[in-house]
Amino acid sequence: MCGITAVAGPGDEDVVDVLLGGLRNLEYRGYDSAGVATPGDGGVSVVKREGGIDDLASALDAAAVAGSVGVGHTRWSTHGAPTDANAHPHTDCDDRVAVVHNGIIENYSTLREELLARGHSFTSDTDTEVVPHLVAERLAAGASAAEAFRDTVARLDGRYAVAMVVDGEDAVYAARDGSPLVVGVGDDRRFVASDVPSFLEHTADVVFLEDGDVVRVTADDHVVTDADGRRADRDVNTVDWQPEDAERDGFDHYMLKEIHEQPAAVERAVNGRITAAGGVDLDGFPPGSFGDVDDVQIVACGTSYHAALYARQLLAERGVPTQVFSAGEYATTPAPVGDDTLVVGVTQSGETADTLASLQAAADRGARTLAVTNVVGSTAARTCDDALFIRAGPEIGVAATKTFSSQVATLTLLAERLAEDVTGSVPEERAAVLRALERLPSDLQDVLDRAAVEPLAAQFRDRDGHFFIGRGVAYPVALEGALKFKEITYEHAEGFAAGELKHGPLALVTPDTPVFAVFSGRHDDKTLNNVEEVASRGAPVVGVASEESTDVVDAVDEFLPIPDTHPVAAGVLANVQLQLVSYHVADLLGRSIDKPRNLAKSVTVE
Ligand code: F6R
């Protein structure tokens, strides 16, 4: 979705440079238009452009924008096409107020009608533009900027985060209700942003605002008031992300860097969570934590949904009744929950609207909720009964990579804790699973060190379609392989349960549709039958399997090896090979790998 950044007190730096830096760090949230605004004494100065941050930077070279506070925005359009006029910030008729916004204002058309009837004129098609006009009306009626902002925010319905500057004031006003917004607390300056990486190079001290909060931020202070207008004390948390985590570090793309970060990310996910005695020590979840759980429902979207399907395999094998739902569906049609149903939301960002809505629907029905997320202080982490962190570090590339591996590692540990608590017994297989998890970082490194997928990428860069098949844990890996492929190459790709092929998709298989067959080491013989089915229709087959699987090597045209390990870890390793195939095909095709068309990282609208 859109990215908001704002600074009060740029110190020795030019306010525009700080805003541009903050926007570049948020570009993964939206990249079809961008803009900045600073207040002066006779009005606000605004520069905004269709296109990316570089287009905005060129426009700013020729503009005189200065000051000691400012707001910026990078947009992923929802209301109104990506044009200069629809880019944020938006202003009132007299250019006294400039506003940036993320999310959707659901009652904007009613507000717009009202404002039009009172003589306001609009210059964009956005829902956002009602905000500066409403603020300006209150200012004209004698309200202070703080009062005008609070009164305006109180009139907005929907899920939003907004930030505002007003002429003559060295302050940023901001509010959230349903969309993320954080305050960065530096020594002599403060920031407001949709996400921490925006200002991480300046400070790691963060206030996570809550729904209903309104904040006034100056260089040396921030005052938060809650939904009832009372002063609210919000803790300052120090995040353990490093500024370099949010940089490209010599890699051509964030995605490639993040693929290579998987050994370290999984190490962090597992570190300290496996005891010397072979038990699971999940921070905050001692043995028995889930003793009253009867069944588990998992809600998630996209890559996180695939990690959830992966976890379901293990839970089902362990005898824990588990269902996985696409959060977009669950949010509209929640499944019945019992008194002892645990509903787990798997969400990297902790801000995905569908997942949050599903968790809320489950909580409203009396279920216990648990967020499995990457972001401390995210909405999911704060609103669920409990939170478990995957510790992947910031992921900037829009395509999720390292967070899938960290989710699977964390969910595997959670599954072991759940299985023990729910069934009252420790399965014999646990020791092998935990050993494989402990080995996973070095196995991941091995795959990365030995991977050589470029020739294969060149061979399959331009085909009619690309199919991915697997069963057991290899099934969600097939889905994830296809998602990554379509997302960044823009080529047609589909993932199937291997057994489903002959129930329809086989009709699409031709010599021009490479099939990527994923093997986890379990049920491989059945998947080999499916390989036969596609090979006999002339499709080239790429097998991703243990380097020791001679059966697979013999049956396929191309082979991508992974170290021999437990199936729970094998799927994660196979997924890395598929991530690299997608990456290199996209690179050969010259695609915008870190910012694929039409996509944004954190989807905060339903
Ligand atoms: C795919 C991708 C998306 C996200 C999905 C959920 O590469 O990144 O499919 O996985 O939008 O996001 P989170 O995990 O933040 O809830």
Average pLDDT of the chain to the nearest whole number: 94
Q: Determine whether the shortest distance from the Cβ of 334 to ligand 1 is under 6 A.
A: no
CB 573 within 8 A of CB 450: no
Q: Determine whether the shortest distance from the Cβ of 303 to ligand 1 is under 6 A.
A: yes
* Statement: residue 9 has pLDDT above 80: yes
DSSP summary character for residue 209: -
The H or E element that residue 431 is part of is: helix 430-450
Chosen domain end from 213, 245, 277:
245
Q: Which atom of ligand 1 is nearest to 398's Cα?
A: 8
Please indicate, yes or no, if residue 446 is contained in any of the structural domains.
no
* Statement: residue 422 has pLDDT above 90: yes
CATH assignment at residue 17: 3.60.20.10
Structure tokens at 283: 């921070």
Structure tokens at 291: 């003793």
The strand order across the sheet containing 341-347 reads 322-326, 295-300, 341-347, 368-373, 386-389
What pLDDT score was predicted for residue 599? 86
Chosen domain end from 441, 462, 488:
441
**Beta-sheet strands, E only, within 136-290:** 158-166, 172-177, 182-185, 190-193, 205-208, 214-218, 221-225, 237-238
Please indicate, yes or no, if residue 555 is contained in any of the structural domains.
yes
The per-residue pLDDT for range 150-197, each reduced to its tens digit, is 999 999 999 899 999 999 999 999 999 988 999 999 999 999 999 999
Q: Give residue 309 CA to ligand 1 midpoint distance, Å.
A: 14
Specify whether 106 is located in the same domain as 200: yes
DSSP summary character for residue 28: G
What pLDDT score was predicted for residue 443? 98
Please indicate, yes or no, if residue 464 is contained in any of the structural domains.
yes
Q: Which atom of ligand 1 is nearest to 484's Cα?
A: 7
What pLDDT score was predicted for residue 243? 73
Specify whether 424 is located in the same domain as 464: no
Q: Is 486 an active-site residue?
A: no
Indicate the top mutation candidate among 253, 259, 303, 483 to test ligand 1's pocket, ranked by most ligand atoms within 8 A of CB: 303
Indicate the top mutation candidate among 179, 255, 324, 349 to test ligand 1's pocket, ranked by most ligand atoms within 8 A of CB: 349
Q: What is the mean pLDDT of residues 8-35?
A: 88
* Statement: residue 29 has pLDDT above 80: no
Please indicate, yes or no, if residue 595 is contained in any of the structural domains.
no
What pLDDT score was predicted for residue 605? 74
Q: Which atom of ligand 1 is nearest to 301's Cα?
A: 6
* Statement: residue 503 has pLDDT above 80: yes
Specify whether 76 is located in the same domain as 94: yes
390 Cβ neighbours under 8 A, 6+ residues apart: 269, 348, 372, 373, 374, 403, 406, 407, 409, 410
For the chain, how are helix, strand and coil distributed in percent, rounded to 5?
40, 20, 40
The per-residue pLDDT for range 197-256, each reduced to its tens digit, is 999 999 999 999 999 999 999 999 999 998 788 999 999 999 888 777 777 878 999 999
What CA–CA distance (Å, rounded) separates 288 from 297?
19
Specify whether 511 is located in the same domain as 477: yes
**Residue 372: how many CA atoms within 13 Å on its side-chain side?**
31
What pLDDT score was predicted for residue 296? 98
pLDDT category of residue 110 using cuts at 50, 70 and 90: very high
Q: Is 2 an active-site residue?
A: yes
472 Cβ neighbours under 8 A, 6+ residues apart: 313, 520, 522, 523, 567
Specify whether 281 is located in the same domain as 424: yes
**Nearest residue to 398 (alpha-carbon basis) of 68, 76, 44:** 76
What pLDDT score was predicted for residue 128? 96
Which residue in this structure is represented by tokens 């540990």?
Answer: 413
Chosen domain end from 228, 245, 262:
245
**Nearest residue to 202 (alpha-carbon basis) of 398, 4, 6, 3:** 6
* Statement: residue 283 has pLDDT above 90: no
* Statement: residue 79 has pLDDT above 80: no
What CA–CA distance (Å, rounded) separates 156 from 145?
17
The per-residue pLDDT for range 324-382, each reduced to its tens digit, is 999 999 999 999 999 899 999 999 999 999 999 999 999 999 999 999 999 988 999 99
Please indicate, yes or no, if residue 513 is contained in any of the structural domains.
yes
Specify whether 59 is located in the same domain as 174: yes
* Statement: residue 591 has pLDDT above 90: yes
User: Which residue has better confidence, 598 or 101?
Assistant: 101
Of the ranges 78-82, 401-405, 429-433, which one carries the lowest mean pLDDT score?
Answer: 78-82
Residue 108, Ramachandran bin (φ over 0: left; ψ between -120 and 50: alpha; else beta): alpha
Q: What is the mean pLDDT of residues 428-443?
A: 96
Please indicate, yes or no, if residue 598 is contained in any of the structural domains.
no
What pLDDT score was predicted for residue 286? 94
Catalytic residue among 48, 257, 402, 601: 601
pLDDT category of residue 80 using cuts at 50, 70 and 90: confident
Q: Which atom of ligand 1 is nearest to 303's Cα?
A: 10
* Statement: residue 81 has pLDDT above 90: no
For 20, counting Cβ atoms within 10 Å of its Cβ (0-12 exposed, 13-18 middle, 19+ buried), the class is: buried
Q: What is the mean pLDDT of residues 51-79?
A: 88
Q: Give residue 16 CA to ligand 1 midpoint distance, Å.
A: 31
Provide the residue range defining the domain that includes 416: 249-441
What pLDDT score was predicted for residue 11? 80
What is the DSSP secondary-structure string of 503-569?
A: GTGGGG--TTS-EEEE--SSSHHHHHHHHHHHHTTT--EEEEEETT-HHHHHH-SEEEEE----HHH
pTM over 0.75: yes
Q: Give residue 305 CA to ligand 1 midpoint distance, Å.
A: 8
Of the ranges 54-63, 441-450, 482-491, 531-540, which one carries the lowest mean pLDDT score?
Answer: 54-63
Please indicate, yes or no, if residue 100 is contained in any of the structural domains.
yes
Specify whether 344 is located in the same domain as 269: yes
Please indicate, yes or no, if residue 491 is contained in any of the structural domains.
yes
Secondary structure class of 89 (helix, strand, coil): coil
For 7, counting Cβ atoms within 10 Å of its Cβ (0-12 exposed, 13-18 middle, 19+ buried), the class is: buried
Pure H helices in 207-326: 254-260, 262-270, 302-317
* Statement: residue 2 has pLDDT above 90: no
Count of domains observed in the chain: 3
The H or E element that residue 466 is part of is: strand 466-470
Specify whether 385 is located in the same domain as 435: yes
Of the ranges 58-67, 403-412, 477-486, which one carries the lowest mean pLDDT score?
Answer: 58-67
Specify whether 232 is located in the same domain as 274: no
Structure tokens at 390: 């995957």
CATH assignment at residue 432: 3.40.50.10490
Q: Determine whether the shortest distance from the Cβ of 258 to ligand 1 is under 6 A.
A: no
- Give the residue whose CA is nearest to atom 5 of ligand 1: 302
What CA–CA distance (Å, rounded) separates 259 from 253?
10
The per-residue pLDDT for range 308-323, each reduced to its tens digit, is 999 999 999 999 999 9
Specify whether 500 is located in the same domain as 402: no
Specify whether 412 is located in the same domain as 458: no
Q: Determine whether the shortest distance from the Cβ of 399 to ligand 1 is under 6 A.
A: yes
* Statement: residue 601 has pLDDT above 80: no
Specify whether 179 is located in the same domain as 31: yes
Q: What is the mean pLDDT of residues 461-482?
A: 96
